[in-house]
Chain A
């Protein structure tokens, strides 16, 4: 079965410093992977997706993620954090054998301080 593990439940960075949110996946097949963001009292918004094209994926708001098959990782990064980046981030894998079912990680809450 496919699964994702988000290695940190909470990450705190200072504004202007780099962001790293870690995600490892488990899949017997080449996976489709996504990162979603959820701001307080809002639904989830797609940040970026990997679907076996380029291994470095660029998303919205300056975020990017690199698919590393050898490490089974799909970490999310941003060079410089902004206060508006404070939110919860979810790493997600598509369930193989289904067209649309997704399995979500447990989330990483990003705090950005001045």
Chain B
């Protein structure tokens, strides 16, 4: 079974802090994704990566950056946290480039910015 592990389930940070969210997958997947989930809005893609050191902007990249130095790890960085970044953050991974490859999700990090 695919395992996608997010380092924290709950996180509380202060406005202006630099925040790191970590995600690790154990199935040698090429693709990794970061989403945020807000009530009534579903999931929105922040960034994704299809290979080590490669990244592409998703639909809402403003205020975020990412890092993928190793294939199994994909980090989301909030450069200067703001209260409107309080949300549930979900990491996912998928195999290769086939269109029928599903994404496998971690359990999420609930981030509160005070």
Contacts of B101 in A (CB 8 A): 100
Cβ-closest chain B residue relative to A39? B107
Number of A-B contacts (CB under 8 A): 61
Q: Which of A42, A100, A104, A106 is B50 in contact with, Cβ under 8 Å?
A: A100
Contacts of A9 in B (CB 8 A): 40
Cβ-closest chain A residue relative to B107? A43
Contacts of B12 in A (CB 8 A): none
Number of chain B residues close to chain A: CB under 8 A: 30
Is the pair B42, A45 in contact by a Cβ cutoff of 8 Å?
no
Cβ-closest chain B residue relative to A44? B105
Smallest CB–CB gap between B45 and chain A, Å? 7
Q: How large is the interface on A (under 10, 10 to 19, 20 to 34, 35 or more residues)?
A: 20 to 34
Is the pair A104, B100 in contact by a Cβ cutoff of 8 Å?
no
Contact with B along A5-41 (1 / 0, CB 8 A): 0000100000000000000000000001010100001
- Decide yes or no whether B43 CB sits under 8 A from chain A: yes
- Decide yes or no whether A102 CB sits under 8 A from chain B: yes
Is the pair B41, A106 in contact by a Cβ cutoff of 8 Å?
yes
Is the pair A43, B108 in contact by a Cβ cutoff of 8 Å?
yes
- Decide yes or no whether B84 CB sits under 8 A from chain A: no
Contact with A along B72-114 (1 / 0, CB 8 A): 0000000000000000001010101111111111111000000
Is the pair A43, B100 in contact by a Cβ cutoff of 8 Å?
no
Smallest CB–CB gap between A14 and chain B, Å? 25
Cβ-closest chain B residue relative to A91? B42
Is the pair A100, B42 in contact by a Cβ cutoff of 8 Å?
no
Cβ-closest chain B residue relative to A4? B42
Is the pair B105, A100 in contact by a Cβ cutoff of 8 Å?
no
Q: Which of B48, B90, B94, B99 is A43 in contact with, Cβ under 8 Å?
A: B90
